[in-house]
Amino acid sequence: MESTDLTHYKALVAKLPQLRKEIGKVIIGQEDAIGEVLISLLAGGHCLLEGVPGLAKTLMVKTMSDALAMRFKRIQFTPDLMPGDIVGTEILEDDLETGHKVFVFNQGPIFANVVLADEINRTPPKTQAAMLEAMQEYKVTYGGKNYPLPKPFLIIATQNPIEQAGTYPLPEAQLDRFLLYIKLSYPGELEELNVLKSTTGTARPELKTILSDEDIIQLQKLTREVHISDELISYINKLVRATRPDGSPSSFVKQWCQWGAGPRAGQALVLCSKARAVLNERFSVIPEDIQSLAYPILRHRIALNFRAEAEGITTDKVIKQLLTELRLA
């Protein structure tokens, strides 16, 4: 990397703490979740947010897009939502030059930089699957034509962990497309007190634009250039392979897991560790990056058996056990 490029990248990276501070004007607490959403953006992936109602999931995403000056669209997923409501549809219009009727593709709300798929588990699998091509290929195919999505592109889906009637759990193949599975918890006592004080008056914080679309694209490029040692890549490989009951060195995994994470989990762990390094203004991955991100990357890629569910064993407990058993030399 040339010195001029390094200076430019350092200036961009120095804006990331400002970005978090700007988001913090509106979102009180939830610092880990905000950091993980930004990691997903820097790594060029998508994330799934899970939390009970009222934890500011939607507001968090909207605030982040405002601070980044990114085009934001919200899709409210409901049982009657159709694929065309997401990707778009063709409409019949008059061609002013020829006078004939022509079909014109009308782009749906997925054509934005940040797309909030609100309560994604409330729509049937047919509509959920309409997002798969966009998530993987960053384009939409309609009527035999390809329509590229804007860059940068980030889908943030939300879901409610409380089981209710009319929900459709995401299939494993689509869950695997999400880089991170982020769980939001209730705020602490002081944080909740600050929420009550700051949101029930007339004051409304004004957000500044910290980074542009082009800045994010440059940071995504930088993320892939961050150094990670062969030793840490080998550790990630062992960790991911240890989640699979067949051949796992962990008796805990063999006892409670039905199947484990695939190769995409290892790729995600490498990329997100690099993104976390950038977010913390480093240009090299350290073990802490891997260990902190193992939970949001692996928790939706491990399937427990029926016995585990009956005994209250969670995927987070499996990951914690693996991190304890597999230590860096």
Q: Which of the two residues, 207 and 47, has the higher pLDDT score?
A: 47
Reported as a single tens digit per residue, the pLDDT across 186-216 is 888 888 888 888 877 777 788 888 998 899 9
Cα 66 from Cα 307, distance rounded (Å): 45
pTM metric for this prediction: 0.90
- pLDDT, residue 163, reads 62
Q: Hey, how many other C-beta atoms are within 10 angstroms of the C-beta on 245? A: 18
Residue 159 — very low, low, confident or very high, per pLDDT cuts 50/70/90? confident
Q: Which residue's structure tokens are 């930088």?
A: 222
Q: Which of 251, 242, 250 is nearest to 269 (CA)?
A: 242
* Lowest-confidence region among 145-149, 151-155, 158-162: 158-162
Residue 4 — very low, low, confident or very high, per pLDDT cuts 50/70/90? low
- pLDDT, residue 148, reads 93
Cα 162 from Cα 54, distance rounded (Å): 13
Which residue stretches of 204-325 are H helix? Answer: 213-225, 230-241, 251-256, 263-279, 287-298, 306-311, 315-325
Q: Which long-range contacts (CB under 8 A, 24 or more apart) does 132-138 make?
A: 132/173, 132/174, 132/177, 134/87, 134/110, 135/46, 135/174, 135/177, 135/178, 136/177
Fold classified for 3-215: Rossmann fold (3.40.50)
Fold classified for 227-326: Helicase, Ruva Protein; domain 3 (1.10.8)
Residue 249 — very low, low, confident or very high, per pLDDT cuts 50/70/90? very high
3-215 against 227-326: fold identical: no
Q: Which residue's structure tokens are 């890549």?
A: 233
Cα 161 from Cα 264, distance rounded (Å): 24
Q: What is the residue type of 206?
A: E
pLDDT at 2 over 70: no
Q: Which residues pair with 148 in a beta bridge?
A: 139
Domain boundaries, the chain: 3-215, 227-326
* Lowest-confidence region among 32-36, 115-119, 141-145, 215-219: 141-145
Map 301-320 to HEC letters.
Answer: CCEECHHHHHHCCCHHHHHH
CA distances to 19, 20, 128 from 14, in Å: 9, 11, 37
Q: Token digits for 125?
A: 């699998």
CA distances to 243, 257, 328 from 240, in Å: 6, 13, 14
